[in-house]
């Protein structure tokens, strides 16, 4: 399987990368060389992640990743509310099977996220490590905020459909305890994605609401990959808070 890297950088100096052929892969680094190194580790992790969740991973090996796309100038890349790139490979329709795959992979990410935090004491959840801006509870709330934002990129119909799927107002859902909010927001987002993504095809669209970057370009594919990438980024972030390796690439025995 031939694999390529899609990279972006911007005003913060950070580099973000993903393996274009493996949706949901994610890495960040402070240099271009560093992001390519991180993506090698991400490749090994992703293969074991699929295996650990009961899927047969693609046949890949440690190989040089050729850069297929590189985008510069992203505003506040890596910060809350920052801009992220639209790549050429994002401009394509989403087959029903890929949508189903993405929803399933979202479930794997959520299981990993909750496994990390389920038994943590309150003081650990509330601790803000030196140099960080959020505690773990706030990270979880941020994940919810981001998912509401991503689904909103699909347009005003997404706002209406999302709220109708909650069986409560968005304001009420956002006031829930964070564990309940994670479940409620995800349920509403999945229903909205299933209803709207198939109709978007390969359209490129913008939406001015809820963002400092009204001209940021989106497609349904970009929306789905951001659901996957963003949660994985914060899984790694919480592992860093807890002092455990971000990626466990040891072979599993599940397959």
**What's the pLDDT at 240?**
96
Region label for 228, one of left (φ > 0), alpha (ψ between -120 and 50) or beta (otherwise)? alpha
Residue 68: helix, strand or coil by DSSP?
strand
**What's the pLDDT at 59?**
84
> How far, in Å, CA of 134 to CA of 210, rounded?
21
> How far, in Å, CA of 213 to CA of 229, rounded?
20
> How far, in Å, CA of 189 to CA of 168, rounded?
14
Sorted by sequence, the CB contacts under 8 Å of residue 118 that are 6+ apart come out as: none
CB burial of 206-240 (b: ≥16 within 10 Å; e: otherwise) equals ebeeebeeeebebbbbbbbbbbbbbbbbbbbbbbe
> How far, in Å, CA of 147 to CA of 150, rounded?
5
Under 8 Å between Cβ of 139 and 237: yes
CA angle centred on 117, ends 115 and 123, rounded to 5°: 160
Task: Write out residues in the chain with pLDDT < 50, as ranges.
Answer: 254-255
Under 8 Å between Cβ of 151 and 189: yes
**What's the pLDDT at 2?**
87
pTM above 0.85, yes or no: yes
Query: Domain 89-242 sits in which CATH superfamily?
Result: dinb family like domain (1.20.120.450)
Residue from 153, 185, 140 nearest 167 by CA: 185
Q: Report CA torsion sign: 48, 112, 231, 135.
A: negative
C-alpha R_g of the chain = 18
Under 8 Å between Cβ of 60 and 119: no
**What's the pLDDT at 255?**
35
**What's the pLDDT at 248?**
79
C-alpha dihedral (27, 31, 76, 84), degrees to nearest 10: -40
pLDDT digits (tens, 9 = 90+) for 63-119: 779 999 999 999 999 999 999 999 999 999 999 999 999 999 999 999 999 999 999
**What's the pLDDT at 1?**
79
CATH number of the structural domain 4-82: 3.30.160.250
Main-chain dihedrals φ then ψ at residue 187, nearest 5 degrees: -60, -45
> What is the residue extent of each domain of the chain?
4-82, 89-242
**What's the pLDDT at 62?**
58
Under 8 Å between Cβ of 5 and 29: no
């Amino acid at each position: 399987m031939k694999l390529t890297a899609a990279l972006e950088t911007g005003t913060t100096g950070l580099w973000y990368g993903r393996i274009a052929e493996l949706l949901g892969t994610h890495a960040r680094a402070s240099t271009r060389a560093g992001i390519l190194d991180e993506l090698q580790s991400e490749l090994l992790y992703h293969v074991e992640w699929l295996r650990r969740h009961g899927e047969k991973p693609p046949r890949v090996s440690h190989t040089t990743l050729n850069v297929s796309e590189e985008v510069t100038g992203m505003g506040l890349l890596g910060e809350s509310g920052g801009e992220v790139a639209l790549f050429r490979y994002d401009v394509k329709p989403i087959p029903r099977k890929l949508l189903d795959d993405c929803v399933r992979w979202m479930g794997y990410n959520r299981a990993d996220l909750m496994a990390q935090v389920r038994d943590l004491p309150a003081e650990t959840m509330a601790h803000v490590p030196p140099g960080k801006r959020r505690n773990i509870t706030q990270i979880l709330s941020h994940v919810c905020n981001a998912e509401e934002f991503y689904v909103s990129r699909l347009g005003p119909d997404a706002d209406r459909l999302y709220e109708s799927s909650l069986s409560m107002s968005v304001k009420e859902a956002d006031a829930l305890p964070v564990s309940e909010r994670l479940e409620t927001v995800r349920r509403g987002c999945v229903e909205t994605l299933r209803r709207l993504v198939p109709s978007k095809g390969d359209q490129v669209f913008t939406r001015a609401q809820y963002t400092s970057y009204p001209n940021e370009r989106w497609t349904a594919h970009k929306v789905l990959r951001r659901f996957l990438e963003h949660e994985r980024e914060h899984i790694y972030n919480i592992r860093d808070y807890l002092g455990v390796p971000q990626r466990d690439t040891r072979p599993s025995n599940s397959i």
